Amino acid sequence: MNNSSSIVLSENQWYEIDKIIKDTGNDQHRLIPMLEKIQNYLGYIPVCVQEKISKKTGIPEAEIYGVVSFYSYFTMEPRARHRVQVCLGTACYVKGGKEIADRIKTLYNVEAGQSTTDGRFTYEEARCFGTCGLAPVIVVDGEVYGKVKVEDIEQILGQYK
């Protein structure tokens, strides 16, 4: 996990985050949508941002941390330039999703949830995108690739520099 002190956000980023917090209000019931908005904007939710939310809304820091760490949608790690998700839903698994996952991990020396050291890819293993008709599926920056074969991996990811 990143130490909050090592993360420096720009003035502009803080401005946007403040705005999201203000627009959402300090109702705890709005916490998850607020976190979703912040993550959509920043790509992750570092501890310093959680502290800020707590200060502005009065929701205890521990509670915010508890929510961020509970839901798999949220991450406290900064993301790399490209997000690679391998679907490991049942249909994809049955059709060879695991072999694809293994191939990516070996090729780029990365584990699920981690980023490559060159900051190129963040690798994630996803649940199910509900596009089982195309299994096995990988998603790169939101772009879906269906019926992927292990030997296609390098060519697909090669497009993302």
Q: Which residues bind other proteins (CB under 8 A)?
A: 27-33, 35-36, 59, 63, 66-67, 70-74, 88-91, 93-95, 126-135, 137, 144, 146
> In the complex, what is the shortest distance from the CB of residue 20 to other proteins, in angstroms, rounded to a whole number?
14
Amino acid at 41: Y
> In the complex, what is the shortest distance from the CB of residue 5 to other proteins, in angstroms, rounded to a whole number?
26
Q: Which is nearer to other proteins, 38 or 157 (CB)?
A: 38
> In the complex, what is the shortest distance from the CB of residue 97 to other proteins, in angstroms, rounded to a whole number?
10
Q: Which is nearer to other proteins, 145 or 160 (CB)?
A: 145
Q: How many CA atoms lie within 13 A of 4 on its CB side?
A: 9
Q: Which is nearer to other proteins, 113 or 119 (CB)?
A: 113
> In the complex, what is the shortest distance from the CB of residue 58 to other proteins, in angstroms, rounded to a whole number?
13
Distances, alpha carbon 13 to alpha carbons 38, 80, 84, in Å: 10, 17, 25
Q: Which is nearer to other proteins, 60 or 119 (CB)?
A: 60
Could you say which DSSP state residue 72 is in? T
Does 48 belong to an annotated binding site?
Answer: no
Edge-to-edge order in the sheet of strand 138-140: 121-126, 82-87, 138-140, 143-145
Q: Which is nearer to other proteins, 95 or 103 (CB)?
A: 95
Closest listed residue to residue 145, CA positions, set 86, 63, 77, 91 = 86
One DSSP character per residue, 91-144 reads HHHHTTHHHHHHHHHHHHT--TT-B-TTSSEEEEEES--S-GGG-S-EEETTEE
> In the complex, what is the shortest distance from the CB of residue 25 to other proteins, in angstroms, rounded to a whole number?
11
What is the C-alpha separation between 155 and 47, in angstroms, rounded?
37
Per the annotation, binding residues are 87, 92, 128, 132
Known binding-site positions for [2Fe-2S] cluster? 87, 92, 128, 132
